[in-house]
Amino acid sequence: MLGKILKWLAPLFTVGVVIFLIFFLISINNDDVEIPSQKLGNQTRNVVKQTEKSWLHYFSQKQQKGYSYPVNEIYIKVDLEEKIPKTITYKLSAQIKDPYELFCLQEELRRHKLKYFLKKDKKGIDLFIYSQNVAKLKKLVTILKNYKIYAHIEVYNTKEDK
């Protein structure tokens, strides 16, 4: 019984939607426009043309001239003649062999509050730390020796990364 109802429900619904659409389209496209008819007479009137105030006239008479952009203007003066003092940056690099070494290393770096860069490739994981505080890096190297992680410090040259 339920199968017969479901079998006829979809076609009945479709027919209902089609009938609704037909009546809807007929009602919105109704061409019956009623125009009141009057007898046309031969009357002459003096037409006085009034000056219309258009938007163009309004803006031409406005006191404020120009256009202001809806953004803030910021002027920045850059002194290119200023000499930037040379700072020496050091690079600590180490190769990590297993996950335990990586875990120990990350804990020590968190404890020393150092930012680091890990590079993973086919050979393993390489650690890079760039800092200007060489004493902090030397202290970290001695701590890493306790975990049998061997690291070395060298002066960082920006040209070698390019």
Give the model confidence (pLDDT) of 21-47 as tens digits: 998 888 887 666 566 666 666 666 665
**Nearest alpha-carbon partner for 120 in 154, 100, 95:** 95
Q: What is the pLDDT of residues 99-129, one digit of tens each?
A: 888 888 888 888 888 888 888 888 777 888 8
pLDDT of residue 15: 93
- Token code pair at residue 84: 């930037």
Specify the higher pLDDT residue, 110 or 82: 110
67 pLDDT above the threshold of 70: no
| Half-sphere exposure of residue 2: CA atoms within 13 angstroms, side-chain side | 0
Assign 26 to helix, strand or coil. Answer: helix
- Token code pair at residue 54: 């258009």
pLDDT of residue 19: 95
- Nearest-10 crossing angle of helices 99-112, 134-146: 140
In the CATH scheme, what is the code of domain 90-156?
A: 3.30.70.2030
Percentage of the chain modeled with pLDDT above 70? 73
CB 140 within 8 A of CB 151: yes
- Stated pTM of the model: 0.43
User: Could you say which DSSP state residue 70 is in?
Assistant: S
Q: What are the extents of the domains in the chain?
A: 90-156
DSSP 80-147: TTSPPPP---EEEEEEE-SHHHHHHHHHHHHHHT---EEEE-SS-EEEEEEES-HHHHHHHHHHHHHT
Please state the φ and ψ torsions of residue 155, each to the nearest 5 degrees: -75, 130
pLDDT of residue 52: 58
Longest dimension (CA), the chain: 114
pLDDT of residue 162: 47
